Amino acid sequence: MTMVESFLFSIADSLIAKLASQLYEEASRVMGLYHHLQEFTHTLSLVKAVLLDAEQKQEHNHELREWLRQLKRVFSDAQDLLDEFECQTLQNQVVKAHGTTKTKVGRFFSSSNPLVFRYKMAQQIKDITNRLDKVAADRRKFGLQTIDVDTRVVHRIEMTHSHVNDSDVIGREHDKGKIIHILMQKNGIDIDKSLSVIPIVGMGGLGKTTLAKFVFNDDRINECFPLKMWVCVSENFDIKQMIVKIINSANDSASHAHAPDFQQNLNILDMEQLQNQLRNKLAGKKFLLILDDVWNEDRVKWVELRNLIQVGAAAGSKILVTTRSHSIASLMGTVSSHILQGLSLEDSTSLFVKWAFKEAEEENYPHLINIGRDIVKKCRGVPLAVRTIGSLLFSKFEANEREYVRDSEIWNLPQKKEDILPTLKLSYDLMPSYLRQCFALFSLYPKDYEFVNFEVTTLWGALGLLGSLKKNMTQEDVANQYFNELLSRSFIQDFVSCGTAYTFKIHDVVHDLALFVAKDECLLVNSHIRCIPESIRHLSFVENDLDGKSFSAKSVGVRTILFPKDGVGANSEAFFTLVSRYKYLHILDLSYSSVGTLPGFIGKLKHLRYLSLYNNKKIRGLPDSICELQSLQVLDLGGCQELEALPKGLRKLISLRDFVITTKQAVLPENDIANLSCLQYLTIECCDNVESLFSGIELPHLKALNVSSCKRLQYLPLDSKHFPALEILCIRICDKLGLSKGPEDQKFILKLKTILFTSLPQLGTLPHWLQGSISTLLSLRLEHCHNLEVLPDWLPMLTSLKALDITDCPKLRSLPDGINCLTALERLEVIDCPELFRKFTLQVGEHWNQMSHIKRISMFERKDLE
């Protein structure tokens, strides 16, 4: 079953929810289309009622699959039609609020005339209703049952960090011991200073990376190797990028906090400069380098990289490689490969129990353990398969639910010897329909991609996949629930929390599944692609110099164009010729593009929800027609440092909720920004000429404000009069900005949840007005504030604070008394603060007894570790 037929229920559900909304009801009555839409909704409901049964029965029924494909085409056209309806409604709102007499007269003589639009829309609704009626009539011949509610629920588990705990790894102690023995032994290879390379080989999902982490974090390895580095290689074995990753990992061996900044800086260096940096990092040091998930079979590339690493390496340095390929292991290894075998039935059963039950819960259900053992046998000792199936059955205590999994026909599908896809596919099939839709879009990103929750939330939201599950749930709330559900099924991993943001990855075998289920709608465009099939709805360009090649593009219904990899962007006119075909585009990502101007047709892409020009270093101006994009939810102009001015008419972007601004303008169009009634997230970065912000306006719905690298900025009013809904405040690298002055009237004090202050030389202590957030603040992060000397006495009154992170504040002498009063504090991190480090190190500092309740405490100085 492909993506096309696997979540029609969810599409039908979202269409019906839209049609039932107050917006559609009111607008359809005004336009005289109410009864037309009611007929369509009625037929749609009849079809939706049998879709869940159809999805389950289609595997062995070609005629049923074809019926579902026809239905998919009707649904797709219906989505486009409703989008047209929404666009017209938004346009009416803009004309009513901001239109001049001239624009209103012009509109009367255009195709946007309400009378003309109503006639055209009525004809299209009638046509699509007739098409749906014809397809719907065929449902009776398949004998489908009515199932109105998707009962495939997900039991959630708490998100955790990515470090491997010994207790989480089952059945690998022997493997770990053997590899550590090889890594620590001294032999002839060490004497001539050649690098010893040890490969771990095994099929996908067998636990090669987990085993390597298990070894990497062992105390014996920490003592043996002063420098440890971890590089995720995957399919891209570009020598320059490999060197960048190795240097980053060496820089990052103490903390992951600043790796992205290092990488951006390193990418601008040439090969000679990079080689010098690499030599300096490795010279004379005994190191362990993990090269995880290697696919490169080019011996010349490997020898070149090995020789660069080897220069100056101390005797005893080692490289540990993980790969699926025996030939790659033979190519790279200097010793015999460690062949990773599947888990024993006993260990597999223990792992299954760990994921399928709460602790000790299995003792109450011995009959379920027996069924579980039968299921585990089908997993053939592959930990990822066992874990995924265990997660699927978590807290399901009815025998028939487990028997359904055990007896599923999917186990009988023909498969290769090293194929665990049926196991994961079964878990995918048992996902709720709405979740399958979201999961499939992970296929648009390359393997080993590090996802950030915000970017995925934006993607899902712009495609309309985050309909509110309950009243008052925000788009972010729904997305977080989906992330939790995917985590609970082991479909995402390596979860790392960074306050309100968090990162995660998906296993490469899970990525294979995403590619498989999404193959009819999603396409990763690389140098091997010659044709874009008609069914494709989402495109992702993952290599440079592809956008100018001549594609045979049959598709016209593309909704998404992404450039997900840093540094890879559009750079030719031929690319925009391709884009001009897609009038229903929802997402246009032009990050890292090098185009100097945008073509005029961009302003006519009225369905566009997301437009990014992030890090375009050439663009000087934007067409004002961008402000006609009334459906636009996200506009990202971050890093556009040559942009002379923002386009005129921003107030017409009435759907905009996330705005990122970089411009040479000295005065931003603040009144226009204040009129953006949906704006919730605002970032102002690298606006070098701005001296003052928002002195006389209010942003009533703004939840998050991020001001960064505005070197002339001196004034920013931080009070609830200007920002009544503000929850997240991030201020970075603003040398002239003082924060001490707060609101004169106490009733205008902000109530924040997250604060980040970075590189603020004028910050000597925390401003007094932050006391207004005593009961609301969850996360406080202070970085590179070199003049910060003291934290206020009221800090222990932050009773809701969960995370306190302080990095590189060398003048900070102590934490205030009463840290034990921070009863909600779960994480305390102090890095490169020498005075604080002296007090708290080795659990003998004078304040240590006040911190015993904190779950995670990290205190160190990077230079000492290096």
Q: Report the SS3 class of residue 270.
A: coil
pLDDT tens figures, 333-377: 999 999 999 899 999 889 988 888 888 787 778 888 888 888 888
Question: 379 with 408: CB under 8 angstroms?
Answer: no
Pick from 49-63, 229-243, 453-467, 523-537 the range whose average pLDDT is largest.
453-467
Question: 499 with 783: CB under 8 angstroms?
Answer: no
pLDDT at residue 104 in the model: 47
Q: Is the model's pLDDT at 29 over the cut of 80?
A: yes
Cα–Cα distance for residue pair 216/169, rounded to 1 Å: 14
Question: 304 with 145: CB under 8 angstroms?
Answer: no
Decide the pairing of beta strands 610-612 and 560-562: unpaired
Question: 356 with 393: CB under 8 angstroms?
Answer: yes
Select from 737, 727, 741 the least CA-distant residue to 759. 737
Mean pLDDT confidence for 218-246: 87
Question: Greater confidence, 417 or 180?
Answer: 180
724-749 burial, b if ≥16 CB within 10 A, otherwise e? Answer: eebbbbbbbbbeebebeebbeeeebb
The secondary structure element, H or E, covering residue 150 is: none
pLDDT tens figures, 179-201: 999 998 875 544 445 789 999 99
% of the chain with per-residue pLDDT over 90: 34
Cα–Cα distance for residue pair 471/474, rounded to 1 Å: 9
User: What is the length of the chain?
Assistant: 866
On the 0-12 / 13-18 / 19+ scale of CB atoms within 10 A, 146 is exposed
pLDDT tens figures, 130-156: 998 888 888 887 778 787 666 555 544
Lowest mean pLDDT among 163-167, 170-174, 517-521: 163-167
Cα–Cα distance for residue pair 225/861, rounded to 1 Å: 18
Select from 731, 732, 780, 772 the least CA-distant residue to 754. 780
What are 704's strand-pairing partners? 681, 728
Cα–Cα distance for residue pair 466/845, rounded to 1 Å: 49
Decide the pairing of beta strands 287-294 and 227-234: parallel
Question: 442 with 538: CB under 8 angstroms?
Answer: no
What the block records as the tokens of 535 is 């069914």
Cα–Cα distance for residue pair 602/594, rounded to 1 Å: 16
Lowest mean pLDDT among 1-5, 465-469, 695-699: 1-5
Phi and psi at residue 322, in whole multiples of 5°? -115, 135
Lowest mean pLDDT among 284-293, 427-436, 622-631, 779-788: 427-436
Cα–Cα distance for residue pair 14/79, rounded to 1 Å: 9
Question: 79 with 463: CB under 8 angstroms?
Answer: no
Q: Is the model's pLDDT at 276 over the cut of 70?
A: yes
Cα–Cα distance for residue pair 770/26, rounded to 1 Å: 44
Mean pLDDT confidence for 623-650: 95
Select from 816, 817, 767, 808 the least CA-distant residue to 791. 816
- Which residue type does 119 have? Y
Phi and psi at residue 38, in whole multiples of 5°? -65, -40
Mean pLDDT confidence for 701-718: 93
Cα–Cα distance for residue pair 57/719, rounded to 1 Å: 58
| Average pLDDT taken over every residue of the chain | 83
Cα–Cα distance for residue pair 370/349, rounded to 1 Å: 10
Q: Report the SS3 class of residue 143.
A: coil
Question: 720 with 696: CB under 8 angstroms?
Answer: no
Select from 621, 677, 689 the least CA-distant residue to 651. 677
Question: 281 with 247: CB under 8 angstroms?
Answer: yes
Strands (E) across 426-521 are located at 451-452, 493-498, 501-505
CA distances from 254 to 198, 223, 248, 263, 756 (A): 24, 15, 11, 16, 21
Give every strand in the sheet of 451-452, ordered side by side: 451-452, 501-505, 493-498
Question: Greater confidence, 164 or 513?
Answer: 513
Strands (E) across 81-217 are located at 196-201
Question: 274 with 304: CB under 8 angstroms?
Answer: no
Mean pLDDT confidence for 574-583: 86
Question: 112 with 106: CB under 8 angstroms?
Answer: no
DSSP 3-state helix, strand, coil percentages of the chain (rounded to 5)?
45, 15, 45
The contacts of residue 822 (CB under 8 Å, 6+ apart) are 795, 796, 798, 799, 801, 804
The contacts of residue 441 (CB under 8 Å, 6+ apart) are 459, 460, 463, 514, 518, 522, 538
What the block records as the tokens of 190 is 């060490």
CA distances from 708 to 267, 311, 634, 644, 688 (A): 22, 40, 19, 18, 10
What the block records as the tokens of 17 is 């929810």
The conformation of residue 773, written as its DSSP 8-state character, comes to G
Tally of CB atoms within 10 A around 576: 16
Cα–Cα distance for residue pair 58/51, rounded to 1 Å: 10
Mean pLDDT confidence for 738-759: 82
DSSP per position, 576-587: HHHHTT-TT-SE
What the block records as the tokens of 339 is 């062949």
Lowest mean pLDDT among 51-60, 107-116, 290-299, 610-619: 107-116
The conformation of residue 597, written as its DSSP 8-state character, comes to S
Geometric angle at alpha carbon 125, from 124 and 127, rounded to 5°: 65
- Rounded (10°) angle between helices 34-57 and 8-20: 160
Question: 493 with 162: CB under 8 angstroms?
Answer: yes
Q: Is the model's pLDDT at 261 over the cut of 60?
A: no
Strands (E) across 268-343 are located at 287-294, 318-323, 338-339
pLDDT tens figures, 277-306: 888 888 888 999 999 989 888 889 999 999
Cα–Cα distance for residue pair 690/710, rounded to 1 Å: 7
> Does the pTM of the predicted model rise above 0.85?
no
Q: Is the model's pLDDT at 665 over the cut of 60?
A: yes
pLDDT at residue 587 in the model: 97
pLDDT at residue 162 in the model: 37
- Which residue type does 800 have? S
